């Protein structure tokens, strides 16, 4: 470890005031600051056209910044390009796979390209093919691979030289849930077991939420919010609880009970809703209160703030694909309310 003045960690990322302007185009990246800690999975979440790929292209030295600076693994992307490229692996949106080559042939080329000693090439290639679950398809032409298989091969290619920092640009866009889950598992393994820093862009809230240690929300070239998924959601607010009494005549009583637990917020239809003063741990107490008052509920729903709520709060718009936000109705507990009815 260096003992220089910078607190730059061995394989983190530090970005300051980064700008990329295209000729006759937009200011695609409009002055962003961010820090990614070594070994962390950083989720760069934003809609189409937000500036995600442009940022990745600058951080991987494919595109010079118009202004600002970025260090990857302590190295300046503008002046130390060759050194940066030795430290990083990248699976970009436009994967450059040759449909006429097999998976194994791609690995062979890539290991040669990275200068691995001849004796090690085949073993390294096979090991990575195995790790991404492509052993059975290794000798088939890539033209016949599914989207998920191509993404996995692309990931294996990016790992050939054991990079300490990995850039993945929308690695799961268009993948089926199963392929997505297996890619998440491999990315998590790389971070947790190998200490690889992962900078991953996505349009999927769920992906950022579940996979990333920290999330930066990018919109129109600017970072709208940054933090752990939990902190970002907590910033937006506490969860809310919504109930619908079976008997409309008991609404006032139901409201009185609910208001013990939070403050009123708009609800759908005839339902009643409060934003909880505390976390969801009070849910059981709420259910018990309705039980002991003998108020039967047609439904009880818990609405957790989602990253889409965060996006909405920060940008005034919903993120595309926000449909997969994880909030929803909870079925009522099956335990019969003793003595109710
Ligand atoms: N080479 C280019 N020339 C001009 N404009 C570009 C170029 N690349 C990207 N852009 C524009 O920059 C903005 C950000 O694009 P991009 O970084 O690809 O967004 P994302 O990856 O988040 O979808 C978009 O408005 C896009 O049209
Ligand atoms: Mg992109």
pLDDT in tens, 38-62: 999 999 999 999 999 999 999 999 9
Residue 8, in any domain of the structure: no
Best-predicted range by mean pLDDT among 7-21, 109-123, 302-316? Answer: 109-123
Nearest ligand to the C-alpha of residue 218?
Answer: 1
Q: Which atom of ligand 1 is the closest one to the Cα of 29?
A: 14
Helix-helix angle 147-158:118-131, to 10 degrees: 140
**Is the per-residue pLDDT at 238 higher than 90?**
no
pLDDT at 317 over 90: no
Question: 3-class SS at 316?
Answer: coil
Local structure of 296: helix, strand or coil: coil
- What is the C-alpha to C-alpha distance for residues 263 and 273, in angstroms, rounded to an integer? 8
Strands 197-202 and 165-169: what pairing? parallel
Q: Are 245 and 196 part of one and the same domain? A: no
Rg of the chain taking only CA atoms, in angstroms: 25
- Supply the angle between the helices 147-158 and 103-113 in degrees, to the nearest 10: 20
The CA-atom distances, in angstroms, between 15 and each of 10, 11, 278 are 15, 13, 37
- Model pTM above 0.75: yes
Contact 236, 77 (CB under 8 A): no
State the closest ligand 1 atom to the C-alpha of 47, by its place in the atom list counted from 1: 22
Residue 309's pLDDT band, with cuts at 50, 70 and 90, is confident
Q: Are residues 122 and 268 in the same domain?
A: no
For residue 175, what pLDDT band results from cuts at 50, 70 and 90? confident
- In whole numbers, what is the pLDDT of the chain averaged over residues? 88
HSE, side-chain direction, 13 A CA sphere, residue 193: 6
> Taking 50 as the threshold, does the pLDDT of residue 335 lie above it?
no
Average pLDDT score over residue span 59-66: 97
The pLDDT of residue 331 is 37
Shared domain check, 274 and 220: no
What number does the ligand 1 atom closest to the CA of 55 have?
Answer: 17
Are residues 314 and 203 located together in one domain of the fold?
no
What pLDDT was estimated at residue 169? 96
Query: For 97-126, how does the pLDDT look when each residue is reduced to its tens digit (9 = 90+)?
Result: 999 999 999 999 999 999 999 999 999 999
CB of 26 sitting under 6 A from ligand 1: yes
Mean pLDDT of 151-172: 95
In contact, 295 and 253? CB cutoff 8 Å: yes
β-strand pairing of 13-21 with 67-72: antiparallel
Query: With a 6 A CB cut-off, is 93 part of the ligand 1 pocket?
Result: no
Ligand nearest to the CA of 22: 1
Name residue, tokens 């960690």. Answer: 9
Residues 222 and 269 in one domain: no
Give 263-284 pLDDT, tens digit per residue: 887 787 889 989 888 877 889 9
Beta carbon of 202 within 6 Å of any ligand 1 atom: no
User: What pLDDT is recorded for position 320?
Assistant: 65
Say whether pLDDT at 339 is over 90: no
* Atom 7 in ligand 1: residue holding the nearest Cα: 22
Does the structure show a pLDDT above 60 at 324?
no
Contact by Cβ (8 Å): 70, 13: yes
Q: Report yes or no: 273 and 318 within 8 Å, Cβ to Cβ.
A: no
User: Which of 49, 60, 208, 222 most suits a substitution to test ligand 1, by most atoms within 8 Å of the C-beta?
Assistant: 49
- Distance between Cα 335 and ligand 2 center (Å): 49
Better-predicted residue by pLDDT, 38 or 303: 38
Residue 228 CA to residue 191 CA, distance in Å, equals 16
Q: Please check whether residues 78 and 207 belong to one and the same domain.
A: yes
Q: What is the mean pLDDT of residues 313-323?
A: 69
N- to C-terminal Cα distance for the chain?
69
* Mean pLDDT of the region 316-332: 50
Q: The tokens 């998976």 sit on which residue? A: 103
The structural domain count of the chain equals 2
- CB-based contact 18:31 (threshold 8 Å): yes
Going by pLDDT thresholds of 50, 70 and 90, the confidence category of residue 321 is low
The residue segments making up the domain with residue 280 are: 237-330
Of the residues 184, 218, 233, which one is the last residue of a structural domain? 233
- Does any ligand 1 atom lie closer than 6 A to the CB of residue 47? no
Among residues of the chain, what percentage have pLDDT more than 70?
91
* CA of 189 relative to ligand 2 center, distance in Å: 24
Domain contains 1: no
């Amino acid at each position: 470890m260096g003992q220089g003045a910078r607190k730059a960690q061995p394989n983190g990322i530090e970005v300051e005031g980064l700008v990329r302007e295209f000729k006759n185009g937009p200011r695609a990246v409009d002055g962003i600051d961010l820090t990614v800690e070594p070994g962390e999975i950083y989720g760069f979440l934003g809609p189409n056209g937000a500036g995600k790929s442009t940022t990745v292209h600058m951080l991987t030295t494919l595109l010079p910044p118009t202004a600002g600076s970025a260090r990857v693994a302590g190295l300046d992307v503008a002046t130390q390009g060759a050194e940066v490229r030795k430290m990083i692996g990248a699976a970009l949106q436009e994967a450059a796979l040759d449909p006429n080559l097999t998976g194994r042939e791609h690995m062979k080329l890539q290991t040669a390209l990275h200068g691995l000693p001849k004796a090690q090439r085949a073993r390294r290639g096979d090991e990575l093919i195995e790790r991404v679950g492509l052993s059975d398809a290794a000798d088939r032409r890539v033209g016949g691979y599914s989207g998920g298989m191509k993404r996995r091969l692309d990931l294996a290619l990016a790992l050939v030289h054991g990079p300490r920092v990995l850039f993945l640009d929308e690695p799961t866009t268009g993948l089926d849930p199963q392929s997505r889950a297996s890619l998440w598992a491999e990315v998590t393994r790389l971070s947790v077991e190998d200490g690889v820093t992962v900078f991953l862009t996505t349009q999927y809230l769920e992906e950022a939420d579940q996979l990333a240690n920290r999330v930066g929300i990018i919109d129109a070239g600017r970072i709208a919010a940054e933090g752990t998924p939990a902190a970002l959601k907590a910033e937006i607010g506490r969860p809310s609880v919504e109930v619908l009494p079976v008997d409309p005549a008991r609404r006032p009583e139901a409201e009185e009970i609910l208001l013990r637990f939070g403050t009123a917020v708009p609800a759908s239809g005839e339902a009643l809703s409060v934003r909880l003063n505390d976390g969801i741990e009070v849910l059981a107490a709420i259910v018990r209160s309705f039980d002991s008052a003998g108020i039967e509920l047609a439904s009880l729903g818990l609405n957790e703030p989602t990253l889409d709520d965060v996006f909405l709060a920060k940008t005034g718009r919903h993120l595309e694909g926000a449909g997969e936000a994880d909030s929803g109705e909870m079925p009522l507990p099956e335990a019969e309310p003793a003595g109710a009815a």
